[in-house]
Homo-oligomer: A and B are copies of this chain.
Amino acid sequence: VKAAAAVLGYEPDHVARALRTRRTFLVGVAVPDLVNEVFPAIVRGLENVLGDAGYTVILANSENDTDRERSSVRAMISRQVDGLILMTSHLRSNLVQELAETQTPLVLVGRNVDRVSVPSVASDDVNGVTDAVAHLAALGHTRIAFIGGPLDISTGRDRYRGYVEGLRVHGLDSDPSIVAFASRFDEHAGTQACQELLAWTRDFTAIVTASDTLAFGCYTALAGTGLSIPAEVSMVGFGGWPSSRRACPPLTTISVPHSEMGCIGGNLLLAQIRDEYERPQVVRLKGQLVVAGSTARRG
């Protein structure tokens, strides 16, 4: 019998098996913006780990839209995914809360939420930005501006907290007139926020940003006013993607191990699926300061 099966190239039907066993070996992955370099790097790590364990990844790109996020997740659940990875969550996400009440295995990657405790892996945002501020302080900067991301996302809030903490540690005044927030983590929003900042004051010698994309946006805004980097303004980003190295000037940044983040996220989900309970695990990955040409000693 087996010989005949082998000859005919028989392969079991996943669909029928799934109907019977109630396990699809499908994992849903929701991403806010696939074109943002961060996410492909994470997805790659996830896909490796989950793929090796026999799981297949279903991908949904929410385009930073909460409604799309919700409908994608619904669709995934009606597809009976064995687990979910969310990289889209807002701090007060109702969706995450609802999912946590279900028994669906769930892991947050890259972002956390308030109120409800869910296994997650993300960068150590607070300390990363504190390190960025420390680097600038060591170079003699005292008027350090901040371009932040949305405060309703953990990466936005915690990186802002890191900035505030960094100022405090170095005894620098915190001045709301040199802080601006971008509405999204993309280049265009970064340019807008930086233009806003420049319209208020130019009384700063350095800018810390909540992401490399925002920093690139600042590059554009600064070029528009003729301010040169790093001679007049030093810049530090957050993320450390390949393109930050290629930028003009290369961007000093806090480098985050995105691929590792994906691997860990995948493993956390596998643990969840396999019912290895314990309390929900929360992993924070330390970023590393990579000094490049965008920061200089205060002139």
Interface on A for B, CB 8 Å cutoff?
11-16, 18-19, 24, 26, 34-35, 37, 39-41, 43-44, 47-48, 51, 56-61, 72, 74-80, 187, 216, 219, 242-243, 246-250
Tell me how far the C-beta of A73 lies from the nearest C-beta in chain B, rounded to whole angstroms.
12
Interface SS of A by simple majority: helix
Query: Which chain B residue has the least Cβ–Cβ distance from A14?
Result: B79
How many angstroms between the C-alpha atoms of A58 and B81 in the bound complex?
A: 12
How many angstroms between the C-alpha atoms of A48 and B61 in the bound complex?
A: 8
Tell me how far the C-beta of A223 lies from the nearest C-beta in chain B, rounded to whole angstroms.
11
Q: How many copies does the complex hold?
A: 2
Tell me how far the C-beta of A80 lies from the nearest C-beta in chain B, rounded to whole angstroms.
5
How many angstroms between the C-alpha atoms of A41 and B61 in the bound complex?
A: 11
B12, B59, B72: which contacts A78 (Cβ < 8 A)?
Answer: B12
Tell me how far the C-beta of A19 lies from the nearest C-beta in chain B, rounded to whole angstroms.
5
How many angstroms between the C-alpha atoms of A12 and B18 in the bound complex?
A: 15
B26, B60, B78: which contacts A47 (Cβ < 8 A)?
Answer: B60
Whether the Cβ atoms of B40 and A78 lie closer than 8 Å is no
Tell me how far the C-beta of A99 lies from the nearest C-beta in chain B, rounded to whole angstroms.
14
User: Which residues of the other chain, B, contact A18 by a CB distance below 8 angstroms?
Assistant: 15
User: Which residues of the other chain, B, contact A14 by a CB distance below 8 angstroms?
Assistant: 78-80
Tell me how far the C-beta of A63 lies from the nearest C-beta in chain B, rounded to whole angstroms.
8
User: Which residues of the other chain, B, contact A57 by a CB distance below 8 angstroms?
Assistant: 58-60
How many angstroms between the C-alpha atoms of A187 and B34 in the bound complex?
A: 21
B11, B72, B246: which contacts A216 (Cβ < 8 A)?
Answer: B246
Whether the Cβ atoms of A59 and B47 lie closer than 8 Å is yes
Tell me how far the C-beta of A186 lies from the nearest C-beta in chain B, rounded to whole angstroms.
10
Whether the Cβ atoms of B79 and A15 lie closer than 8 Å is yes
How many angstroms between the C-alpha atoms of A247 and B243 in the bound complex?
A: 8
Query: Which chain B residue has the least Cβ–Cβ distance from A29?
Result: B59
Whether the Cβ atoms of B43 and A59 lie closer than 8 Å is yes
Query: Which chain B residue has the least Cβ–Cβ distance from A22?
Result: B15
User: Which residues of the other chain, B, contact A39 by a CB distance below 8 angstroms?
Assistant: 40
- 27 A–B contact pairs at CB < 8 A? A11-B74, A12-B78, A13-B78, A15-B19, A15-B24, A15-B79, A15-B80, A16-B19, A34-B40, A34-B44, A35-B41, A35-B44, A39-B40, A44-B61, A47-B59, A47-B61, A51-B72, A56-B75, A57-B59, A57-B60, A58-B58, A58-B59, A59-B59, A187-B242, A219-B246, A247-B247, A248-B249
User: Which residues of the other chain, B, contact A35 by a CB distance below 8 angstroms?
Assistant: 40-41, 44
Query: Which chain B residue has the least Cβ–Cβ distance from A24?
Result: B15
User: Which residues of the other chain, B, contact A40 by a CB distance below 8 angstroms?
Assistant: 34-35, 39-40
B58, B61, B246: which contacts A247 (Cβ < 8 A)?
Answer: B246
User: Which residues of the other chain, B, contact A13 by a CB distance below 8 angstroms?
Assistant: 78, 80
User: Which residues of the other chain, B, contact A60 by a CB distance below 8 angstroms?
Assistant: 47, 51, 56-57
